[in-house]
Amino acid sequence: MSNLEQTLSIIKPDAVERNLENEIKEMFKNKGFSILKEKKIQIEKSEAEKFYKVHETKPFYSDLCAYLSSGPIVVMVLEKDSAVFENRELMGATNPKDAKEGTIRKKFGISIDKNSVHGSDSIENATIEINFFFKD
Ligand code: UDP
Ligand code: MG
């Protein structure tokens, strides 16, 4: 039985700036994800604030939004069976120090804030986040 889902992935500024875009995309493809849509963009801080609105009460919110808008990012729609969960698994823990071997954040993450990738955390948020970046 198939359970095809789509999720939003972002390659964050720290990874784009280190030219890790292709290596990270290879990790997705090797795990069976299809990249349905992708674009490299830089967003305004005000857009980052909308995207991360769920975190607006957190102490790290302002720095997080400044960071996401600090340089080019690659936003992608990934598709696979159980894509939301499978992407979170491949990303690894938010803090790269806690991320398991073989995960993107273990391999490339620098710190809890510069952790190289974003991934939607639920099917509902995946739909919201895909529409945020790819409203046709
Ligand atoms: N973040 C941070 N400091 C923290 C927690 C989170 O800078 O103490 C940043 C980090 O870049 C993380 C993002 O905020 O990826 C969103 O946090 P969330 O808890 O949603 O983690 P994620 O879903 O990205 O694993
Ligand atoms: Mg999150």
Nearest CA to ligand 1 atom 1: 113
Q: 80 φ, ψ to 5°?
A: -175, 165
Measured CA to CA, the distance from residue 39 to residue 13 in angstroms comes to 14
**Which sequence spans correspond to the domains of the chain?**
4-133
Measured CA to CA, the distance from residue 130 to residue 27 in angstroms comes to 20
The residues lining ligand 1, judged by C-beta closer than 6 Å to any ligand atom, are 55, 60, 64, 94, 112-113, 115, 118, 121
Distance 52 CA to ligand 2 centre (A): 8
Ligand nearest the Cα of residue 91 is 1
pLDDT in tens, the chain (136 residues): 789 999 999 999 999 999 999 999 999 999 999 999 999 999 999 999 999 999 999 999 999 999 999 999 999 999 999 999 999 999 999 999 999 999 999 999 999 999 999 999 999 999 999 999 998 7
CATH topology of domain 4-133: Alpha-Beta Plaits (3.30.70)
Measured CA to CA, the distance from residue 62 to residue 95 in angstroms comes to 18
Q: 72 φ, ψ to 5°?
A: -60, 145
